[in-house]
Amino acid sequence: MILPPGYDPQKDRIEIVPYDPKWPGLFTLEKEALRQALGRFAGLRIEHFGSTAVPSLAAKPILDILVGVSSKEAWPRMIQPLAALGYVHGPGAFDDAVHWFFVKGMPPYGEKRTHQIHLYELESEGWRRELAFRDHLRAHPADTLQYEALKRELAAKFATDREAYTQAKTEFIQNVLRQYRL
Q: What is the mean pLDDT of residues 4-23?
A: 94
Report the phi/psi class of residue 53: left, alpha or beta, with left for phi > 0 and alpha for psi in -120 to 50: alpha
State how far the alpha carbon of 116 is from the alpha carbons of 105, 177, 182, in Å: 9, 22, 23
User: Is the residue at 4 inside a domain?
Assistant: no
User: Which pLDDT band, with edges at 50, 70 and 90, does 2 fall under?
Assistant: confident
User: Is the residue at 79 inside a domain?
Assistant: yes
User: Which pLDDT band, with edges at 50, 70 and 90, does 110 fall under?
Assistant: very high
Range of the domain at 98: 9-178
Tell me: pLDDT of 97 over 90: no
Query: pTM here?
Result: 0.94
pLDDT of residue 27: 98
User: Is the residue at 81 inside a domain?
Assistant: yes
Burial of 70 (0-12, 13-18, 19+ CB in 10 A): middle
User: Is the residue at 146 inside a domain?
Assistant: yes
Q: What is the mean pLDDT of residues 137-163?
A: 97
- What count of other Cβ atoms lies within 10 Å of the Cβ of residue 179? 10
User: Is the residue at 1 inside a domain?
Assistant: no
Question: Which CATH number characterizes residue 116's domain?
Answer: 3.30.460.10
User: Which pLDDT band, with edges at 50, 70 and 90, does 171 fall under?
Assistant: very high
Tell me: pLDDT of 94 over 90: no
Q: What is the mean pLDDT of residues 24-48?
A: 98
Q: Report whether 66 contacts 118 (CB < 8 A).
A: yes
User: pLDDT digits over 53-80, tens only?
Assistant: 999 999 999 999 999 999 999 999 999 9
Give which of 106, 101, 31, 6 is closest to 62, Cα–Cα: 106
How far, in Å, CA of 101 to CA of 97, rounded? 12
